[in-house]
Structures are given as structure tokens and as C-alpha cells.
Structure 1
Amino acid sequence: MRILVLTKNIHHELVLQRELQILNHEVFVTRNERSICLVNECELVFDCLFLSETLSEKEFLSITKKAFSLFNGQIIRVIPENGEYPSHSKEASNVLYVSRSFVDLRDLLATLITKNDEYKEQVSLEQFIRKLSNNEQLLFEQLQEERPITREQLCQIIWQGDESKSRKSQLSYIAKKINTKLDASNYTDKRIKTYWGKGYILQ
């Protein structure tokens, strides 16, 4: 997830930035003076907007009004770790609040949507197979019935030969390549797995 943090003081956000990065998010921190022009340009760049507690309430409400639609409502007001959660004002009724606690940050971000998640289109079997090499297609097609198939059977199908150490290694490499392509697509949540050390199954 790509996160934009608006603040009065960049140094004040160093710990927040580090913790967001530990959670595997891309973070860009900027001072409030540049916020308006950034917000107008960042619709396709950032997934959510963090507003530091260093911003005044007036600044917070002004930015929220301008930026709400750009971030699909994913605007987060940061409060001190031991601070009280404010009551929601009418002007910011849909804003989320989070403390600087690592656990609170982690749990909140797990509920948000990235633009990739929101706009990724469903991929058909035919579309996915076109992304595979010839050997990857042969292996993947054999697993479509979702039943285990042995390495010996796969070696006969792919290379018309018996199982060997070299071919076992190649099968493992092909399976990993297919799983990598599955991770990058929106075809299925299933992955190729080893089956009792004897073969492979898609599940």
C-alpha cells in the first residue's frame, strides 16, 4: 500500500514512517504547505492519506474536505499513542482515527483497500494460460482436475521420459514459476503444492 503522510514537521514522523515501512508499506512524508498541490495530483499514486496531529483542527478539516474523494474515503487522523480518540465532528464524520501504537497501525491498515485490490480485473483460465510457457501450460493443465499427479506422470507428459533428478528439479522450478504468475494475477486463490513428496496438486 502507498501511504501519503501530511505533517507540520517531517522529523516528528520518523518513527511513524519506519513502523509503516516495517509493515511493508511505501510511505511518503511531506509538510503541510505542499499538501494542496500534492492532493490534487496523487489520486492514482497513493492509497490512503495520514494527517498528523501536528496539523491544526482547521487545517485537518480543510484538507479532509478537499481530499476525501481522492482517497476513496481512506483518510486517517493520527493521534498521540496515549491520547484520547476525539468525538467525530460533522465535517469529518467518515475520517478514521489511529494512535501511533504499532499494533493499532497494523490492525487499521489490514482493513484498508489498495487501488490494485479495487481495480484488479478477474482473469479467465484462457487468459491466464496465455501467460504461461509451453512446459508451464502442460503442468498447469494436468492439475485442473484438482487431483494429485505424480512426478513420474508429469515427466512422461512434459518430456516423454522417465523421472530423474534433473527433471524433478525442473518440475519444482516450473511449479514455482506458475505460482509466481498466479500471485500476480486474479485468476484463483489456489496454488500448486507438493503432495506427500511424490507429486503435485492444485488446491
Structure 2
Amino acid sequence: MTKVLIITKNLLAEQDLQAVLQRSNAEVYCSYDLMLDAQHFPQVISYFSVVIFSDTISTLEVSKYYSTFKQNGLFILRKGNPEHLKQTELSYLFDEIDDWIDPVTSNLGIIEKIAKLTSKQSIYPSSEKRTNSKIDINSETFFFSLSSNEKKLLYHLYQFQKDGAILSREKLCSLLWETQVTKSNLCQLSNLTNRIRKKLSTYNFPEGELITSWNKGYFLGDLLFNEVKNYLD
């Protein structure tokens, strides 16, 4: 499964693009914060195969942050008109961007562009294993196995993430226990996330569906996000 990160300042502006990619069985996540913090979280960035810089992101911002994504092996796509870039002092970026999604690119064209890029990547056995394991996922039993707080944790992550935000550990603690954050709460939170990850593995969810963004919080993989929407929303 291709994992696509869309860098955007407006989640609603990317709904059509997100829908197109998801129909092609791509896993899609939208964020602005991950661009700002990319150099601090290489383990999160390298989870993705492709990054798309939305037209809500300025070319100046792209020039400041694109190299981190390149260094982590991601292909770079840009929404916009490539001819406009050629006429600016940042025209050197033209050689750094792998492909463009311009206003006349069709839905099929978008899918083909990403397929062409990702076909260049080596296919590792672990990737095949993660993809094939989806066949045996038992979502109903997984959610039935969750404790009340485990369900609350996933629900709160979903609620924040659908608005394009990453829920911090501190905020998550306050939502779960409705008290001021303590070291004990943070420890309990770590235990909760570890238990959820073990259950995800038990019920054959692919790896990386509950992701830690260090010093920021947690976010859900595309599959788990949709399953939480179906079962808990």
C-alpha cells in the first residue's frame, strides 16, 4: 500500500485529492505540522512513500523543508503550475520536484503519476507482509476487546485528526482522566498505547496504525482512522 503525506494548511481543501488517492487504495494523511517538524521526526516521515505539497503551501516554504523529505527517501509532488515556478528565483526547485499535479491533471492522471513514481521503489518482504495481513483483520473483535479508556483514546485521536490536528500527550491525558496532567497519567497513557498496539497486532492490523510523533503526540494510520470512524464515531 502506498503511503501518501499531503502537506496542507487547509484539510478541507484536500478532500477531493484525498478521496482520489484512497480509491486507489493509498493510505493518506494530511498535516501542516509534520512539515514544520520534519527534521525532528525522521522515523515518522520515513513511514510515507510520497509527499504532496499542496497549493496552500508557498514555494518559499517548500524550498525550506523539501530536502528533509528527500533525505528520507520520499518522492515529492507539488500541486500547482510548474511554469509559474520557472519564472521565479526559486526555479532550481523544478529539478527537485519529481512530478506535478496541475489544475488540468485528471483523477486517473494523479493515480498514474504516483504509481509511476512508487514503482521505482524496491519492494521489501516486510511491506508485502503488512499489505497482505489486511486480509485477516478482525475489526469487530478488536474493538470488542478494548477497555473503556482504550476506546476513549482512539476516539479522541480520531476527533482531533479529522480536523487535521495531532493530539498531544498532555491534552490526551486531560481528556481521558479529566484532571491536571501528572507523571502518573503520562505513564498510564504509555501503557494504554502499548496495550492497543499489542491488540492491533493480535487482530492482524498492519504495523504503524498507531503512530507516535515524538514530543507532539499520536496519530492514527489511515486504516485505523477509518475503522474508528466506522465503530466509534
Using CA pairs below 8 Å that are at least 6 residues apart, which structure has the higher relative contact order?
A: 2
Higher strand share: 1
TM score, norm. by length of structure 1: 0.49
Higher helix share: 2
